[in-house]
Structure 1
Amino acid sequence: MGKLLCDSPAAAVAVAVAEALPSSPSPSPAPAAPLLTWPSPEPTTPTSWTSVAALEDQQRRRLHRIWERGVAWKPSSPLQPLVFRLDHAGEVDADGNCLFTAARRAAAAKPDARDLRHRVVRRFAHVYAAADAADRDAVDAAVRHLYDPDLKAGWGVHVVQELKLLAPKAHRDALDAAIQDLVDIGVQREMAAETIYKERCIAVNDGDSWAKYMSVSGSAEDEHDIITLQYTEEGLLTIDENRDGHAAAFGDDIAIECLATEFKREVYVVQAHGADAMVDEENCVFFLPHRPRGEICEPPIFLFMKGTAWCGAGADHYEPLVATVLQNVTPDKAAVVL
């Protein structure tokens, strides 16, 4: 699953962050992980767009036209323009790690999804540590917008807003005991849990806490459990206490940019919107670019996301796409030019 910024104040913040942080950061206290290497993709049987689940007719027709005519990529020199045919490369588990699973499959990378997640976090930490105070403030603002929003605002756009908190696994018993203490003196269980979690857990509201949050893959080896508080305009709606510790941090735009930097390749998220997005068929598929910091050394990686409403609201699952070069198609004949 993933969280994507699109046509929202958060998108503007994300763009500002991308422009603010240095493309070639100065050395930081901890060296970044080495860039990924990957073999040539093994032959994969592409999935026809006619057989991809949960697509509306207009999405399917537009994706098929793009498949027929291709997507033109026009990089800066010395790389040459290419035209790609995009095939769906199959579904991945909706376990919260789908961004990393899909990226791994699309790039034919060696690390597993959990290792790739941790490489992304290390890459982010390296850049964040090297940034100046103003640039870190911009990153912090983007993180707060995503995971610690101002609950006095935003209700014209969102029906439900979430706060993400991190509970150290080693502290769960102590947190439960503190909640029970409040219940014993007459506080409602849900209100007691909200109070204790807000007081004693880590809010995801800056770059450092984002790194801790994005490290969570839903495995027993994680240091933290994710607690989610959901609110409506009237107040607390529900608390996901994640008792089994299986909740993973959904990939977001910050993580995708770090993936691009790790691979030295652009990452395009291909969003396909249905009729509820109120867009015509010609414009129901669009490509959201995420560029690496520094040089681009290889063709892009393409990931697929199905939009379920305007601005992709509710679309939080990534699937891999296989890009095959079309030898006899010129960029001016392609359905889409990037």
Structure 2
Amino acid sequence: MGKLLTNSAAVTETLNPSPSLLQWPEAAPVHSPKDADMAAAAWAGVSGLDEQLRRRLEMIRERGVFWKNPRDAAAPGVAFRLDHGGDVEADGNCLFTAVRRAIGSSVVEVRELRQRAVRRFLEDYGSADGSEKEAVDVAIRHLYSPDLNSGWGVHVVQEVKLLAKKADRESLDAAIQDLVDLGLQRELASESIYKEQCIAISDGLSWAKYMSTSGSLDDEYDIITLQYTDDGLLSIDENRNGIAAAFGDDIAIESLATELQREVYVVQAHGLDAMVDENTCVFFLPHRPRVQICEHPIFLFMKGTGKESFF
């Protein structure tokens, strides 16, 4: 059971770091002191960074990041220097574009990398037992088919994702028009038809169809997005030009890590609007493969600046 904090002394005591928390050591940097100037130059040209965040990233580059294979206790550790490798456009393909560039592949195309992640997921999902599949399905429903009767204490807007077959768009439009002719408001008519006739992303198989969608004319499906507030339907993105792609999520990242046999770290950065202090404005989110680790990790830098980056 939690405790209610009613005085400033208790709050201060609670917020003080516990001795068990890992703090960034004040030891000598992994690299020579002259690397400080190089670190500053490396991040100086990156747009959208608060000054505190920029300093933290410069320090991480100067000191390096130590990595050790978590499944091989005898293997030596490796220190990485994280340089900013460039930006990728923040469209639905940004994860796969960043991974492709981070691994230095000029052979594998972005769409192929997406399909490899989906195939890997389907293999693992197909071999999972009932309880494992149900856990995955629950996570998928939470992401793409949320219960609109709850969650409003956290979210202002919630989205429901649906898949419409490209070949069915004309028949869907005709069904919507039939309801409009009967006097129903077009937006409500569209919501009704899409929810009735399109595919909800609610389990592993429908997730695979969704994550296969890259915004290409060759896709089988178009992504429809229904946005809700606690008052009801807010808007519908019908994606009539079919260019919306499925953004890579944690499930896709884990599948990529498994396919590439290496850990993938999302380096999450927060600006002044979200950080507690400078020491907590950057953290590393590991995605571990479900197979043996055979390669060094890759690091993907993520910040809400309109673009994604990689190291």
- Aligned mate of 1:58, from 52, 63, 66: 52
* Sequence identity percentage: 67
Partner residue, 1:49: 43
Structure 1: runs of 5+ lacking an equivalent: 1-46, 309-315, 322-338
Q: Is the 8 A contact 2:117 2:252 kept in 1?
A: yes
| Residue identity in the other structure for 1:196 | I
Q: Deviation of residue 307 (structure 1)? A: 4.9
Q: Is the 8 A contact 1:271 1:307 kept in 2?
A: no
Partner residue, 2:202: 205
Partner residue, 1:182: 179
Alignment of 1:120-269 (within 5 A): 120-269=117-266
Partner residue, 1:279: 276
Distance 1:78 1:296 in 2: 14
- Report the secondary structure of 2:267's partner residue: strand
| Residue identity in the other structure for 1:81 | G
| Residue identity in the other structure for 2:201 | V
Residues 37-73 of structure 1: per-residue CA shift (max 9 Å, x gap): xxxxxxxxxx821111111111101000001110010
| Residue identity in the other structure for 2:59 | R
Partner residue, 2:309: 319
Distance 2:55 2:269 in 1: 11
Partner residue, 1:107: 103
TM-score (norm 1): 0.78
Residues 170-227 of structure 1: per-residue CA shift (max 9 Å, x gap): 0000000000000011000000000000000000010000000000000000000000
| Residue identity in the other structure for 1:147 | Y
Q: Deviation of residue 147 (structure 1)? A: 0.3
Q: Deviation of residue 318 (structure 1)? A: 3.3
Q: Is the 8 A contact 1:99 1:319 kept in 2?
A: no
Structure 2: runs of 5+ lacking an equivalent: 1-40
Distance 2:75 2:251 in 1: 26
Q: Is the 8 A contact 2:89 2:308 kept in 1?
A: no
- Aligned mate of 2:114, from 87, 101, 117: 117
Q: Tell me how many residue pairs correspond in the alignment.
A: 269
Residues 279-317 of structure 1: per-residue CA shift (max 9 Å, x gap): 100111000000000110111010000157xxxxxxx85
Distance 1:279 1:112 in 2: 39
Q: Deviation of residue 278 (structure 1)? A: 3.6
- Report the secondary structure of 1:88's partner residue: coil
Could you list the runs of 4 or more consecutive aligned residues of structure 1 that deviate by over 6 angstroms after TM superposition?
Answer: none
Query: Which stretch of structure 1 is more off in the superposition, 151-160 or 108-117?
Result: 108-117
Q: Please say which structure displays the higher CA radius of gyration.
A: 2
Distance 2:243 2:204 in 1: 23
Distance 1:186 1:204 in 2: 30
Distance 2:309 2:60 in 1: 17
Instruction: Give RMSD over aligned pairs.
Output: 1.4
Distance 1:123 1:102 in 2: 19
Partner residue, 1:312: none
TM-score (norm 2): 0.84
Distance 1:140 1:305 in 2: 26
Partner residue, 1:35: none
